[in-house]
Structure 1
Amino acid sequence: METNKLYIRNLENTDDINIKFRYVNKELNVDRDFSFCRKKYEPVFKLLTRIQNNVEKEIDKCVNKRSKRRSTAEQISKTLPEIKIEIYQDECNISSNETTLAELLQNNFSGVKLLVIDQIFDIVLNQPWVDLLQLPKCMLAGCLIYPNKFQIQFAAPEHCSGMWFKSTQLEAISTKWEKCGEGLTYQVAQEDVGHYMKLAVTPRNKEGISGPMAEDISKCVVQALPDELPFQIRHQHTVNLLSEPSSIRVVTYNILADLYADSDYSRQTLFPYCPPQSLQIDYRKQLLIRELTGYNADLICLQEVDQKIFDVDLKNVLEMPPHNFYGMMAPKGICSEGVSVFFRRSRFDLLSSHVLHLGKNIPSLSIFEPLWNKIKANEQLAERICNRSTTLQICLLKVKETDKYVLVANTHLYFHPDADHIRLLQIGFALTYIEHIHKEAVKEHNITDPKNIGLIFCGDFNSVPECGIYKLMTEQFVDKHSIDWSSNLEEAVVDVELAQPFKMFSACGTPKFTNFTTLFSGCLDYIFCQQDRFELLQCVPLPTDEQLTAHTAIPSMYFPSDHIALIADLKFNAIS
């Protein structure tokens, strides 16, 4: 922060005035930032009194530090300058009148200066400002790092600049910082292992006006990445982006929300085999980002996405060059996690997006009436399904350079072990809604050949292949005798059959595991695709049993989630 400048910030529609300045007096050994938050209708003289009290305390503290004996302190105090704090407007002293900060604010503090002892401070109003800057608690070589928290005012991230430095020590006096990068993100190198990192950010607005630099130093050193992570082996199958316009690489991945990983229950019951540091989100998210970017996907569907991880991490990395995705988040009701879709902007145009909460909306949508009328008489069943926060996310994408359209659906169905009937009903309602959106898309965008629009339905369906969901998706029909309807006898579904119009196949088949913990392991995740629209080019091989069990189960220091990402390369069928 520059000396002899007093920074004042007042956000729109607030009464708070934030004030900050740095006072340096080498003779008194004073070098400190002073910060105040006052109400704008407060008289100026009250602010000056507060400033004077704080400056006096700081000077007294510095004098006492220099004094080893009381007599020395007394000698120094006799030579102290008068602590005069005054404010001037157009060279007129207004320190003692009733002028308020709000009145000065009306004129943008024009002509206003502050006198602190022997120094005059110019007033700078609403300068670009870094309000909060914090580096992650864990940094891994080979991964991308960026601020964990980055809050700015009167500035835009894309106009801010950053410089990265590293050092092997943190002693304030002797620390030597070596510049190692520029920008707000930094790709940590192997030679950075054992170093502390420092990020210095200069905030800037679109007009090019800069504010005072802010910096943060990491609390830990860079760690080495574990050797040969399993996803690095999978990356060998996705080295390059797909170049054919009609081909699409799809990823679906339940990334394990921090909401569920960061608790005593998860550490002691769900994942007791996973070292606590490997469960921390600052560790896991670096692996997740590296894993996702290495798949070179065109379309990414994620489940259990924390809102904060979406905003701060996924968007911050995936939407920036060289990846240039566009991301959409659909929270699960009032829950702080949900599902999200990212698509590569160089491949697709977004035509529409929809979010449906498969709970409270079930009784209110007319397209659901036929199925709802068959189950609503069972009050316990009706209450249970309507109280769910399950979310269905849909987006319609136009494939660039082609006449093809992709209808993408993404969901994470209810998890409870006795809820096969709930999940089957949820997928029934979901497919009804998808069919409705599909018909609207064909009509609105004048898609004359239905084979030019294909459905891809991704997610964590919390359903093994033996259950009704897989049958409904691949065979288009589930009869009233399905065992799923009786997974909870008090809520048993009676005389209900489900049918749907999309002939689907599972792009990655039915692998032995897509979820692997000590409490449960099985296939719960799928990339379902329309069979008469897409052909499968490749399904990226899944991790081996040996890799999954190397540290008992997952998550582990090698796997950032309890689920495994599914990756499939698809291609639109040629129209005959």
Structure 2
Amino acid sequence: MGVKMRVGSWNMYNDIWHSVREATESITPTRFKSGSRVKFLRDRFSCTPFDIMCLQEVSPVMIPSLQKECSYYKMTLVAPPQSTLTPNSNNCCVLFDKKFKLLGKKHFNLSEAVSTHLLRYAHQGESDIEDAFIKELRMRTSMATMLLLELPQTKTLLSVCNCHIHWNPAYADVKVFHTFLIVKELFHFVRSALERFPFVPLLLVGDFNSTPRLCAVQIALPTLLASNCLSQHLQGPVADNQLSGVYELITTGRLPTKHPHHPAELRNDEAFLRYPDLLVDPFQSAFKEKIPFVEQVNGAEPEFTNKTTTFSGCIDFVFFKGLIPLSAKTVPEDLGKSEVLPNGKIPSDHLLLASEFFLV
């Protein structure tokens, strides 16, 4: 027997973190109290309850409020350890219905993952640019929270990975490698928790800070870093329909060294030819998959999930393996073309993603 489940993903907009960046970059701040974001979630739970909700950019001050909401809606909250929280930290939290039993959890450790999966390819000390890349991989922040859940009545398993990939568009290769490391660690986490590793359905969701397709303008990294106009390079027309590095890696399971977002191409240095093509088990997209006789599934990613005065595009995704997608939509669905985020209705610069699956 199977069960229908509703999955959500939302970048809540950490106003503390953004206020620091805005002050650094002289951006006019737009602030919304954390209570308005909790209320937005509460309204969603009241209308259509979720079985799993993945949240990104959760500030530490919001965690007690989320715990209170979880108690009311009979959900469990998994947040990073208190010892790792700082006032302006972004955190990935997962809320799940108490009908699920938590079998295991893992908070992604970026530095350990670099050591585990990449140092055998790197030749530290032989190439300054390669040393710099390894250093950047460790210092540019990407986060993930991984869970292994069970429905006790049927012994059905489900693994959830909620992630938030580094934001800076200048570091497309760093984003790709962070995504690669998170997916590798997800599979290692599941295999370690289940020694015989029967097939486990997987959810890989969150804010990937990458659009599905490449922009038309491809600029060498040093030039892009020196530019103050990053947003204009993000908003050009797509180039030959080529997938972005992050999206290609996740949906095809492979990123060749010739891809524009591989450091061998982006940094234009032969030192990175030592790195092999990146390989992972591929995922499907809840929005893109079109299921016969199920009209709700779109057959395409949303036009946008993030919409501000400087950028509009799809950078949030719900990927899956071993599940049957039933529906996928953004919330709210009626955002006007002239509206930007955050605003009085939506206290974040991201839309909420809502997907339904059949878990067997």
Does residue 489 in structure 1 map to residue 263 in structure 2? no
1:25 aligned partner: none
Aligned partners of 2:96 and 2:8: how far apart in 1? 10
Q: Structure 1-normalised TM-score? A: 0.49
Larger radius of gyration: 1
Secondary structure at the residue paired with 1:385?
helix
Superposed, 1:193-208 pairs within 5 Å as: none
Aligned partners of 2:350 and 2:66: how far apart in 1? 18
Superposed, 1:428-439 pairs within 5 Å as: 428-439=180-191
Question: Offset of 1:395 from its aligned partner?
Answer: 0.9
Superposed, 1:136-151 pairs within 5 Å as: none
Question: Offset of 1:560 from its aligned partner?
Answer: 1.1
2:165 aligned partner: 413
More strand by share: 1
Aligned partners of 1:375 and 1:409: how far apart in 2? 34
Question: Offset of 1:434 from its aligned partner?
Answer: 1.4
More helix by share: 2
Structure 1 residues 352 and 414: CA distance shift in structure 2, 3 A: same
Q: Which segments of 5 or more consecutive residues in structure 1 lack a partner in the other structure?
A: 1-243
Does residue 529 in structure 1 map to residue 282 in structure 2? no
Question: Offset of 1:491 from its aligned partner?
Answer: 7.7
1:500 aligned partner: 280
2:298 aligned partner: none
Percent identity for Structure 1 against Structure 2 = 22
1:557 aligned partner: 344
Question: Offset of 1:281 from its aligned partner?
Answer: 2.9
Aligned partners of 1:356 and 1:245: how far apart in 2? 30
Aligned partners of 1:295 and 1:374: how far apart in 2? 52
2:211 aligned partner: 464
Question: Offset of 1:442 from its aligned partner?
Answer: 3.0
1:7 aligned partner: none
Structure 1 residues 307 and 538: CA distance shift in structure 2, 3 A: same
Does residue 257 in structure 1 map to residue 14 in structure 2? yes
2:112 aligned partner: 361
Q: Which segments of 5 or more consecutive residues in structure 2 lack a partner in the other structure?
A: 214-243, 289-300
Aligned partners of 1:426 and 1:390: how far apart in 2? 7
1:518 aligned partner: 309
Deviations 1:387-432 (A, max 9, x none): 1332221111012321321111111111111111001011111121
Higher relative contact order (CA 8 A, sep 6+): 2
Deviations 1:419-460 (A, max 9, x none): 1100101111112111212222331xx55x42xx11111110
Question: Offset of 1:265 from its aligned partner?
Answer: 2.8
Aligned partners of 2:207 and 2:126: how far apart in 1? 26
Root-mean-square deviation (CA, aligned residues, Å) is 2.9
Structure 1 residues 345 and 245: CA distance shift in structure 2, 3 A: farther
Q: Structure 2-normalised TM-score? A: 0.77
Deviations 1:46-82 (A, max 9, x none): xxxxxxxxxxxxxxxxxxxxxxxxxxxxxxxxxxxxx
Amino acid corresponding to residue 428 of structure 1 in structure 2: F
Aligned partners of 2:348 and 2:45: how far apart in 1? 12
Aligned partners of 2:150 and 2:210: how far apart in 1? 30
Aligned partners of 1:419 and 1:257: how far apart in 2? 21
Aligned partners of 2:341 and 2:57: how far apart in 1? 16
Does residue 571 in structure 1 map to residue 328 in structure 2? no
Deviations 1:472-507 (A, max 9, x none): 111111111111125853788435311112x31111
Aligned partners of 1:398 and 1:285: how far apart in 2? 27
Amino acid corresponding to residue 251 of structure 2 in structure 1: T
Structure 1 residues 436 and 415: CA distance shift in structure 2, 3 A: same
